[in-house]
Each structure stands twice: as C-alpha cells, then as structure tokens.
Amino acid sequence: MDADDGAVHRPTVPPVLPSMSAPCCWSGGWSRRASGPAAYANVQAFTGSIIGRLIVFGYTWALMHHMLSGIRHLVWDLGYGFQGQ
C-alpha cells in the first residue's frame, strides 16, 4: 500500500471548553436546585430512586465514553497507533 493513499490526516486540538462546559452547567443546575435542606432531600430522594440511578448511570456512562474517545483521538492525532510504512 502506498504511503500517499489520498487520505488527509491533520492533527487537531480537541475542543476542551465545550467538552467541559456541559458537566459544569449540569452540576450547577443541581446545586441551584439544592438551595436548602428540603431541596437537598428532594434531590437525594430522586437520585436514590431506580429512575434517578438509571439517569445518573447513563449520564456517567456517556461522559466517560466521550472522555475516553477524546483521549483516543488525541493519541491518534499525536501519531500513535498507526503502523509506519
């Protein structure tokens, strides 16, 4: 296989700000809702329920998947993981 097979691979800088702003906004929303003992008890009751645990698990799964995928692409952008010709 020829080294110049027509594919263009340009290293990019991962967009950190949009990736980090979503979790900060989400956690900020929870902290605003938990503005007192009664509100905190409501949030705890919701996250302790089956539906709440499923939502938290799914959100955590999505964040971890997105983060690990970003690390994988960063490693690829650095040139690792490709066989040299």
DSSP-derived secondary structure for 26-62: HHHHHHHH--SHHHHHHHHHHHHSHHHHHHHHHHHHH
Token pair belonging to 19:
């990736």
Q: Quick: pLDDT tens for 62-71.
A: 999 999 999 9
What's the pTM?
0.53
Reduced DSSP (H G I as helix, E B as strand, rest coil) percent helix, strand, coil of the chain, to 5: 70, 0, 30
What gap in Å lies between CA 48 and CA 54, rounded to an integer? 10
Name the CA radius of gyration of the chain, rounded: 20
Task: Evaluate if residue 44 carries a pLDDT over 60.
Answer: yes
